[in-house]
Structure 1
């Protein structure tokens, strides 16, 4: 109950702040990332952040357009762990060099040390941990303090962005955000680099040939600290992510696109109090084309299926890799008019390598999965894929379009059925079992966020099949 109250209070603060400060951000990607004011519509505590004071919230919350300099540590190379598949002009750039570039040339660094960026809030937390305190006392970690230009929190809070920087940083942050404390795990760092190497094995070229508008935002390098005992020191792991976006690129996560937003001024009784950006786009398209809004919304949805959903199905079909493509992990690329033209997937946590395709994947990248713990039984993969892509992403989008009276949900469900039928049995059918599962199953398994919270589960800890509570629901696609 305390977490529910905390989430409600913070959400009210976010809405009030945005009404009082409605100014636009010139960087379109950052503006989209910081537009998700309400969070997951089916989560009991989408904006709770235990341990974050009001003052800290002002600095570290994307909803309040926070910005802050990174806190830097010097790590003795005897305890430094890292890996990199980041290449420039055909040569690999080590992770410590990438971090040094991001820090800039004027950060003083002792000899035989590498720089490691950390979230300022996390530094306070780490000082109280025995493992980190021992490294600081031994001089193997040195606190260099805050330094450099401000970075901006994105919709995931602990993934930071700076306009024009070549990389984003996914930092460890011991705040409980939605269902988990957001500290990177070493296997997730390995997974990000591994997926990058897998795609570079020739898979990306095949994928781009079939779907040139879609790709994965790569996580090709990481830095961390390993103690004298050889064990990972938790709370310091840093993922270095490609930043493929220029300030003018209109790339928006689906969750932010469909989330209602407060208007700049309070509205009258004849206008909705809050509208999503998607509602604004579709209404504008209807006005420009002279077509009914429902017809425009349906065409928009069909283009979304072709440009975003089918490429995700292709990857499962051709490689046996299912993506945890929920609405916050899925970025949509829009043309100047607002039509979907492509997409990007992001999340080094959310990959499922099918156990049945292990031999194929190992042939593409020998040794795959040994350190990343990414192979999952087909049964669990099917359940999670159906939830994340089918229920959370597409049915969530249909629900959003229906809730704002932009289109008739029955028509969109029928359009989704036709799309799935073509993917399952048409001339261009795919080998993924997901379309048939969504069409033929009378019920589906759906993640229960309230029960997951009540059970005290952390979705980043333990086996993937027991990290969350799932319940059975009726399948609205089944006929």
Structure 2
């Protein structure tokens, strides 16, 4: 679904970053800080999806209640890339007088009514409830993290656990429908959760699995279970998230299989596993595998149960890369690769449907304990403690001290090296192979050297591959039958828009926005650097059309998380072109 904004005013120049003691994100009461975080994420969505801009006095005014009142929002930092910072919101009556400060739930209801063409009370109430849930969970996270010590020195896991406030441009970034307080403590990465997996023994007549050459999915899960004596003869080990296991036992089709002994409940087994930033993907230090488990919770917009086409897609991409494409890619960009999903295991029974809630992905875990690898979303995630900061800030300060150069100079160089290490390889795969990656920040991992400079990266996510229709014949020649089971081929025009959103808007412009909102660099300087990169010979050599689109289009097609939520859409359901609402936003890379 797409909504184009017409007549949106041009982007304003960046206003200076204005941190200070009045920043409500730094309030000592976690509930106040969480409330502010919820307000700001909502308002960023509103600004992006409506084209709203502040007045000359630096205040954003939002008409609500059919124009009978306005929300008055002081602007602390105006970001060309969308990572704005706001002060405390008040409601102005028809006479222009300020009323009391307004909380996140009230703002959600007011802006939702203003945003919808035909306000739906049920959907507005649902949004308000999820905003409330998100704020409460954020308060719990901040209360815990402001007193807790980091339990791990493993950089990968620390970055996975760092998304304290969640997606900065989502109206309900920490909403997790159906997760109680005790479960949240065990299953949430931000709360340093850990838990033992729940296991089923699956009758081999029901077993569904696939794996790349040299691997055996049920042999691998048997090894992860750890105790072969637990498996009855003729069965295979199936790992489950413990929340999912309780949910599945209540589903009639699964309950029948359990009662008939075709599924056998082995209960919690083994050593604890740790949730990553996606919540349902779990890792364990020293184990060469991660598991992407089905989880029927609605996290942000979607229920997170594995679809069969995604399972096929992960194995298919691994086989495609092993066919020779990976070697060509690494020859051009040796520091970048895909975190492979070369095996999956589940249950095959027509009555269970798709998704059936039982399928699990085996994902390679290639990172050693000393490798400095960071989920990009975790690297830039705000830490509102004594000051507003991030792991990125730590890296830049250390580099600045080591190099003896100003931090903003170091930041510009770091960003340019990042583009070479992380963006060029993704453009190459698109232009040369016809494979576009849904490379948003949470799906992207950056590798830093010992000093802190970007030297490589990884992409992960079996949901986020798009094969271009224009490359169908060449891809089929590499791997006959590719795309049939995985439903991965998409029209080039649709891919262009989605690729621009995920790689350019969410990832790179989001990174620039983090630099600016945290006072680490001037966004205008980094935007100029990005323009030079996109216009340069290295980007042109990739053959991708994205650089030209970014430099030549006055607007960009952008996912609208607030409108998607208001429309009750699950982003994992249906054709790619209609999974979310999109709007056209001013392109900050257009000629200044």
In the alignment, the residues of structure 2 paired with residue 337 and residue 118 of structure 1 have an alpha-carbon distance, to the nearest angstrom, of: 39
Question: Does 2:547 align with 1:435?
Answer: yes
More displaced, 246-255 or 182-191? 246-255
In the alignment, the residues of structure 1 paired with residue 518 and residue 350 of structure 2 have an alpha-carbon distance, to the nearest angstrom, of: 57
SS at match of 1:235: coil
Equivalence map 1:157-196=2 (5 Å): 157-196=279-318
1:233 Cα shift? 6.4
In the alignment, the residues of structure 1 paired with residue 496 and residue 537 of structure 2 have an alpha-carbon distance, to the nearest angstrom, of: 16
Instruction: Name the count of aligned residue pairs.
Output: 464
In the alignment, the residues of structure 2 paired with residue 68 and residue 332 of structure 1 have an alpha-carbon distance, to the nearest angstrom, of: 27
From 132, 143, 155, the equivalent of 2:277 is 155
Question: Does 2:202 align with 1:75?
Answer: yes
From 242, 250, 257, the equivalent of 2:379 is 257
Equivalence map 1:215-226=2 (5 Å): 215-226=337-348
| Structure 1 residues 215 and 233, CA gap change in structure 2 (3 angstroms) | closer
1:105 Cα shift? 2.6
In the alignment, the residues of structure 1 paired with residue 317 and residue 257 of structure 2 have an alpha-carbon distance, to the nearest angstrom, of: 32
Question: Does 2:423 align with 1:309?
Answer: yes
Q: Contact 1:383/1:445 (CA < 8 Å) preserved in 2? A: yes
Instruction: Compute the TM-score of the two structures, normalised by the length of structure 2.
Output: 0.77
1:13-54 deviation line (CA, Å, top 9, x unaligned): 111101111235122211111111111000011111010000
Structure-1 residue corresponding to 2:258: 136
In the alignment, the residues of structure 1 paired with residue 355 and residue 532 of structure 2 have an alpha-carbon distance, to the nearest angstrom, of: 50
| Structure 1 residues 425 and 183, CA gap change in structure 2 (3 angstroms) | closer
Structure-2 residue corresponding to 1:270: none
| Structure 1 residues 423 and 153, CA gap change in structure 2 (3 angstroms) | farther
Structure-2 residue corresponding to 1:59: 186
In the alignment, the residues of structure 2 paired with residue 130 and residue 186 of structure 1 have an alpha-carbon distance, to the nearest angstrom, of: 21
| Structure 1 residues 402 and 231, CA gap change in structure 2 (3 angstroms) | closer
1:152-179 deviation line (CA, Å, top 9, x unaligned): 0000000000001110000000011111
Structure-2 residue corresponding to 1:466: 578
Instruction: Compute the TM-score of the two structures, normalised by the length of structure 1.
Output: 0.95
In the alignment, the residues of structure 2 paired with residue 384 and residue 19 of structure 1 have an alpha-carbon distance, to the nearest angstrom, of: 37
More displaced, 140-149 or 283-292? 283-292
SS at match of 2:236: strand
From 155, 159, 167, the equivalent of 1:32 is 159
From 470, 474, 477, the equivalent of 1:356 is 470
In the alignment, the residues of structure 1 paired with residue 471 and residue 264 of structure 2 have an alpha-carbon distance, to the nearest angstrom, of: 45
SS at match of 1:394: helix
| Structure 1 residues 233 and 32, CA gap change in structure 2 (3 angstroms) | closer
Q: Contact 1:258/1:397 (CA < 8 Å) preserved in 2? A: yes
Structure-1 residue corresponding to 2:177: 50
Question: Does 2:369 align with 1:247?
Answer: yes
Q: Contact 2:475/2:482 (CA < 8 Å) preserved in 1? A: yes
Structure-2 residue corresponding to 1:375: 489
In the alignment, the residues of structure 1 paired with residue 143 and residue 363 of structure 2 have an alpha-carbon distance, to the nearest angstrom, of: 32
| Structure 1 residues 142 and 394, CA gap change in structure 2 (3 angstroms) | same
In the alignment, the residues of structure 1 paired with residue 352 and residue 558 of structure 2 have an alpha-carbon distance, to the nearest angstrom, of: 39
Structure-2 residue corresponding to 1:420: 534
1:369 Cα shift? 0.2
Q: Contact 1:223/1:239 (CA < 8 Å) preserved in 2? A: yes
Q: Contact 2:469/2:492 (CA < 8 Å) preserved in 1? A: yes
In the alignment, the residues of structure 1 paired with residue 374 and residue 134 of structure 2 have an alpha-carbon distance, to the nearest angstrom, of: 23
From 238, 241, 246, the equivalent of 1:116 is 238
1:431-466 deviation line (CA, Å, top 9, x unaligned): 111000000001000000011111111111111111
From 22, 37, 46, the equivalent of 2:149 is 22
Question: Does 2:168 align with 1:41?
Answer: yes
Q: Which protein is bigger by CA-based radius of gyration?
A: 2
1:424 Cα shift? 7.8
| Structure 1 residues 353 and 231, CA gap change in structure 2 (3 angstroms) | same
Q: Contact 2:448/2:455 (CA < 8 Å) preserved in 1? A: yes
Equivalence map 1:385-400=2 (5 Å): 385-400=499-514
Q: Contact 1:174/1:182 (CA < 8 Å) preserved in 2? A: yes
SS at match of 1:473: strand
1:78-110 deviation line (CA, Å, top 9, x unaligned): 11100001x5xxxx2210001001111355111
1:274 Cα shift? 2.2
More displaced, 121-130 or 295-304? 121-130
In the alignment, the residues of structure 2 paired with residue 138 and residue 232 of structure 1 have an alpha-carbon distance, to the nearest angstrom, of: 22
1:411-445 deviation line (CA, Å, top 9, x unaligned): 1111101111115875xx22111000000001000
SS at match of 1:82: strand
From 83, 104, 107, the equivalent of 2:226 is 104
Q: Contact 1:132/1:233 (CA < 8 Å) preserved in 2? A: no
Q: Contact 2:151/2:192 (CA < 8 Å) preserved in 1? A: no
Where in structure 2 are there 5+ consecutive unaligned residues?
Answer: 1-127
In the alignment, the residues of structure 1 paired with residue 354 and residue 489 of structure 2 have an alpha-carbon distance, to the nearest angstrom, of: 22
Q: Contact 1:227/1:233 (CA < 8 Å) preserved in 2? A: no
Where in structure 1 are there 5+ consecutive unaligned residues?
Answer: 268-272
In the alignment, the residues of structure 2 paired with residue 57 and residue 283 of structure 1 have an alpha-carbon distance, to the nearest angstrom, of: 34
In the alignment, the residues of structure 2 paired with residue 24 and residue 74 of structure 1 have an alpha-carbon distance, to the nearest angstrom, of: 33
